[in-house]
Amino acid sequence: KAGVTQTPRYLIKTRGQQVTLSCSPISGHRSVSWYQQTPGQGLQFLFEYFSETQRNKGNFPGRFSGRQFSNSRSEMNVSTLELGDSALYLCASSSRGQTSGETQYFGPGTRLLVL
């Protein structure tokens, strides 16, 4: 079974631009959670999508948004990029998501650098 894939793996943008990141979950998984990881703040939950619906959102500004498609693939968008958005963005998939104690499988991440 193929693992979680994320594209692109690396990205360089400038302040004020917007960016879209993509995540393809493991086949059959309906939950996709997004995380931001930085050296200063550690790993932080952004949001979770389950069956095309956002179930929960972490403490991030409205510039961070996402969506999920009927095939469970998910995208997240960051608008009006700031230098502080430079981070590793990880997605994780599972069957039932954050309502259960099942394993979440992380993708390799997209490393975003904002200049």
Least distance CB 92 / another protein (angstroms): 8
Least distance CB 29 / another protein (angstroms): 14
Residue 77 contacts another protein per CB under 8 A:
no
Amino acid at 87: A
Q: How many CA atoms lie within 13 A of 6 on its CB side?
A: 25
Closer Cβ to another protein, 14 or 41, answer by number: 41
* The binder of another protein chosen from 54, 71, 77, 80 (CB under 8 A): 54
User: Residue 93 belongs to what H/E stretch?
Assistant: strand 87-94
Residue 60 contacts another protein per CB under 8 A:
no
Q: What is the number of other CB atoms lying within 10 angstroms of the CB of residue 111?
A: 15
Stretch of 9-17, 19-27, 72-80, 93-101 contacting another protein, by CB under 8 A: 93-101
Say if residues 29 and 95 touch (Cβ distance below 8 Å).
Answer: yes
Q: In Å, how far are 16, 18, 28, 69, 108 from 83, measured between CA atoms?
A: 9, 12, 36, 29, 22
Binding residues for another protein restricted to 1-40, rule: CB under 8 A: none
Footprint of another protein (CB under 8 A): 42-45, 48, 50, 54-58, 90, 97-99, 101-109
